[in-house]
Amino acid sequence: MHHRLHHHVLKPLAVALAALLGLAVATSVAAAGTESAEAEILAMDKNGDGVLTAAEHGVGARTMFVTMDGNQDGRVTAAEMDTYQTKRTVRDAAKEKPSAEKIRMVDTDGDGALSAEEHRTASQKMFITMDADGDGTLSKAELATGHAKMLLKKPAK
């Protein structure tokens, strides 16, 4: 019960925090979402079991942060995140929220950049939110659904 309460309290914040991660994004759960989720699992699933643990997700997020930090100053700017996103092949960045908006949602110190700690915290909360069945792992379906909900722009009205 405590886990569910914790999950419920963190969910709204985690949805916003998840947007900054720049992981593979699903344009639809059935099509591109599944391909993106499979690519993500292959990249981070170190034991090859087809699901991501919190530890595997955390290592993947740290690797992503270091890669995004083009000048290796310990901070990721919107420009660095944009550059990183253009190099990814499993993304549809045009459908995602802008990098500056992703950073702004989790920029706890208000400096306009993403620190390693801000990224780590957001990654942990994202994992909790995407783990819909609460089993401590992320399946391809959870990744595809979670990214589609968290990272895509809202449709124009």
pLDDT tens, 110-135? Answer: 999 999 999 999 999 999 999 999 99
CA 83 to CA 86: how far, in whole Å? 5
Q: Which of 8, 43, 30, 25 is nearest to 143 (CA)?
A: 25
CA 97 to CA 23: how far, in whole Å? 12
User: What local confidence, expressed as pLDDT, does residue 35 receive?
Assistant: 61
- What's the pLDDT band for 143 if we cut at 50, 70, 90? confident
| 155 or 60, greater pLDDT | 60
Q: What is the pLDDT of residues 7-52, one digit of tens each?
A: 454 544 444 444 444 433 333 333 345 567 778 888 889 999 999 9
How high is the mean pLDDT of the chain?
Answer: 77
* Angle at 84 (CA atoms; ends 98, 132), nearest 5 degrees: 65
C-alpha distances in Å from residue 26, one per residue of 54, 69, 124, 151: 21, 24, 20, 9
C-alpha distances in Å from residue 3, one per residue of 8, 32, 133, 135: 9, 31, 11, 11
Q: What is the pLDDT of residues 61-107, one digit of tens each?
A: 999 999 999 999 999 999 999 998 888 755 555 677 889 998 998 99
* Radius of gyration from C-alpha coordinates of the chain: 15
C-alpha distances in Å from residue 4, one per residue of 1, 97, 135: 5, 28, 11
Judge whether residue 153 has pLDDT over 70. Answer: no
CA 124 to CA 138: how far, in whole Å? 12
Contact 59, 44 (CB under 8 A): yes
User: What local confidence, expressed as pLDDT, does residue 9 receive?
Assistant: 47
